[in-house]
A and B are shown apart, each in its own frame.
Chain A
């Protein structure tokens, strides 16, 4: 419960922060890629570096990673099937073989069904997800944020000691 509340608070805080919708969407997309693909895959190191050096929202990236890791656990058989389909595509065999023979490509583990299936799925999802998240953030800030602040549950939550401590910690962390 504490964990869920913390995530909701983080989400609401990020949505209402000064971060631009593109930064929030960027965080969600990059966190999603790490979350959907096997964590130990070498490409995730590159995504992590991208999160660190680009001005994407860090909190949203972590939140997105957490949520999509759970989804990935359930979607794993689908990723495996999709990866199998891609790796067995007749027209791609020559490409896969030459990639496999190149050590740098081989290092990415692209030849694994789950890595391939989940990574391509994440890339496909990124296309519509990025504008959708941006649109969602704008809509939230314009129409929903003020209403949410008036919700009794939010008022009650803000009145708790936990929220006070959370705010203090957040301020200290910057």
Chain B
């Protein structure tokens, strides 16, 4: 045994131990922040991180995850958090497996003190699924439109000229552009028919056929040659016929495309009309629209916010799945690993149980469990499940349960949220000018049910305002008949029940909002602004029609004329070909007759010379 050897080993062991002890928490913090920010595409900040390498124990005082779509806001943040990473999966396979994690001070959508924008390095960027964000935009846009509807602005003396100055009427330009396209298409075909080689070949055929003079042919050999030539000419004429038909078919195909373009003109006019209505902010007096206009802005705005969280979850899910190693390469000197069991076939990270506690924006203390957060649900066999709830001193209750399931090909997200018993005192129930009153008392309940399977959404938000009374006094006297009718209608109710349904189960995305007061408002509106709205609508429609009047018909007429011209050219060509077919056929007949004559005279000659009759 070497004494100095043992000393060296001991020194090396000591250095290793010291290294683990002195690895700075800042270094680990920086690594976590950078990697998490790349995945999040916005800053993830950790404060007060303490990492114990010997026990693989991690804790931090605060974690902020920036919302990548609004970098002055956090998607969520946590307070003191701690967990322990399992040793063997980390050492053997570099997998972060956490059995239990304690998260306190959890809060959603908190404001940031600094901008959380993060520039993702180019090599780290990844494609993202945009479907849910598309739905969020559609719903937000509907909410915005509904907020802009002003029923009380409808007037009989609508100034159409000033309105039209604001509307970009696009149909005339589009029709002009289509006309140019039609002109270009027809000049192309005009030139094709004019310059086609078919005409030259027809002339050549005619010359060749006319040059054959059956009467002047005396020798059988010459006759056989002439017949063969005529047969060739017949084939050539058939080929010309086929070519002419091909040109015609191509033309008809091109013509068909132009016809489809022409059918869009009505859609363009309709779109201009809708745009003008939208600028004029004229509402459609329909029960469905009343619901949307009264409550759509608030309800759909909330809905878009809920859906955005699901979109974020799906986005993270897809990014993390993409980051998992899918194919195993076989580097030369490294050989192949034989995995005898699936013991180490773990996801990159797996937080099995997270005990969560925190508060909502409205100060409801919440607590609950989140389970199964991993980088590959297919490896863990578990979806993300969450069950969080709480209540405050005023008996306001909140519960949120759901599942984000990415185990199969189609991603599935579903959750139910119930928020019950919140006060409506001093709250304005609707953003609409039809209901501009604050509530003097009342309680509210909201429940949300959302289910998304891949790109199919089925969701419902129910909003119940109970024991309500409106504060009409502070709004003063009714300014018009409509206001008086509305006050009369809603003053007698102490409960408003609204449902919003957003789904695309039977086709494109549908957003419907219904409430128990729709009919009350509808009646009030029908008695007051209905006629004014109809008049304004007619004026706008007439103006749009006047601006595009005649253009569509002119275009259709122009197209018809040009088409006739081309058709005429084709028919002319076809008739020339038919003529040549006839000419060739006639020549063939003449040659057949001449052949018979020559045969007969030949037989007569043989008979005269050797006395044998071949007839």
Contacts and interface: CB of A to CB of B under 8 A. Distances in A.
Contacts of A115: 335
B9 A111 contact: no
Nearest to B91: A107
Contact of B341 (A51, A79, A87, A101): A101
A96 B333 contact: no
Contact of B6 (A51, A53, A113): A53
A2 to B, nearest CB: 28
A97 B332 contact: no
B335 A112 contact: yes
Interface string B139-170: 00000000000000000000000000000000
A52 B88 contact: no
B335 A114 contact: yes
Contacts of B343: 100-101
Contacts of A84: 336
Nearest to A79: B335
B8 A96 contact: no
B338 interface: yes
A106 interface: yes
A35 to B, nearest CB: 13
Given A49-B9, A53-B1, A76 B333 contact: yes
B5 interface: yes
B473 interface: no
Interface in B319-355: 332-341, 343-344
A76 B338 contact: no
A38 B2 contact: no
Interface in A106-150: 106-107, 109, 111-115, 117
Given A80-B335, A106-B88, A111-B337, 12 more contacts: A52-B9, A53-B1, A53-B6, A53-B9, A55-B1, A73-B333, A79-B335, A88-B338, A100-B340, A107-B91, A111-B338, A113-B335
Given A103-B88, A103-B92, A113 B1 contact: no
Interface in A33-80: 38, 49, 51-55, 73, 76, 79-80
Interface residues of A, number: 30
A117 B334 CA distance: 12
Given A96-B340, A106-B344, A107-B92, A52 B2 contact: yes
Nearest to A51: B5
A121 B583 CA distance: 94
A97 B343 CA distance: 10
A97 B340 contact: yes
B6 A114 contact: no
Nearest to B13: A49
A18 B6 CA distance: 22
16 contacts: A51-B5, A52-B8, A52-B9, A53-B2, A53-B6, A53-B9, A54-B5, A83-B335, A97-B341, A101-B341, A107-B91, A111-B337, A112-B336, A112-B337, A114-B333, A115-B335
Interface string B569-598: 000000000000000000000000000000
